[in-house]
Amino acid sequence: MPTTADFHTKQARADHVARRLAELYPVTPIPLDHRDVYTLLVAVLLSAQCTDKRVNLVTPHLWAVADNPAAMARVPVGKIQAIIRSCGLSPQKAKAISGLSRLIMERHGGAVPRTFAELEELPGVGHKTASVVMSQAFGVPAFPVDTHIHRLAQRWKFTDGRSVEQTEHDLKKLFPPATWNQLHLRMIFYGRGHCTARGCDGTVCVICRTLFSERQRPRKTKK
């Protein structure tokens, strides 16, 4: 049975985590329902401070009105907002969805751009959203960091948690680029199911117990 001594380095812990998560989640479906790159982009934007479950309940109603940038650009912002209201932050998100749809038509010929720089120029699209689209739609290695990954990386002592940017940087140093796209989903699944904010404090779940069998105090994490 491995002990904390076997995981005294970050790399040893990272290797164990990668193996264990691959065993738990050999298949990594994208949790946001979507039809194509554009609908994925909009769904990821809607997921900010909202659960994927809620987004998946809302998007069919939005796609029924418009499921492509040309059609969405013609929908009044107020109508978009009414449909997505339950996702939270609906005024900002509705304005962003309308704005990015127009820019995709005006600047990119109706196709979602395929670079980080161009994606992050779209309204409401930050680095995390761009990373999800680049990794899951275009297969470009990226490591989007959400609250689950940020928390787990701290509990497993992969990072000090100063910022999500630092966490992303530190994780990319520990894991090969070829694993990033699946690994970020596996960490999200594990964070939701086993190492939750309330269900594990760094001493409860099986990975925390394995990596830090001698840990006596809860691992406080930074948001």
Same domain for 23 and 53, yes or no, is no
Please tell me the total count of domains within the chain.
Answer: 2
| 116 and 53 inside one domain | yes
- Clarify whether residues 63 and 112 are in a common domain: yes
Within this chain, do residues 63 and 130 fall inside the same structural domain, yes or no? Answer: yes
One domain for residues 112 and 189: no
Domain boundary among 136, 155, 187: 136
SS (H, E, C) the chain: CCCHHHHCCHHHHHHHHHHHHHHHCCCCCCCCCCCCHHHHHHHHHHCCCCCHHHHHHHHHHHHHHCCCHHHHCCCCHHHHHHHHHHHCCHHHHHHHHHHHHHHHHHHHCCCCCCCHHHHHCCCCCCHHHHHHHHHHCCCCCCCCCCHHHHHHHHHCCCCCCCCHHHHHHHHHHHCCHHHHHHHHHHHHHHHHHCCCCCCCCCCCCHHHHHHCCCCCCCCCCCC
Domain span at residue 177 reads 4-28+143-211
pLDDT in tens, the chain (223 residues): 455 567 889 999 999 999 999 999 999 999 999 999 999 999 999 999 999 999 999 999 999 999 999 999 999 999 999 999 999 999 999 999 999 999 999 999 999 999 999 999 999 999 999 999 999 999 999 999 999 999 999 999 999 988 999 999 999 999 999 999 999 999 999 999 999 989 999 999 999 999 999 998 988 898 7
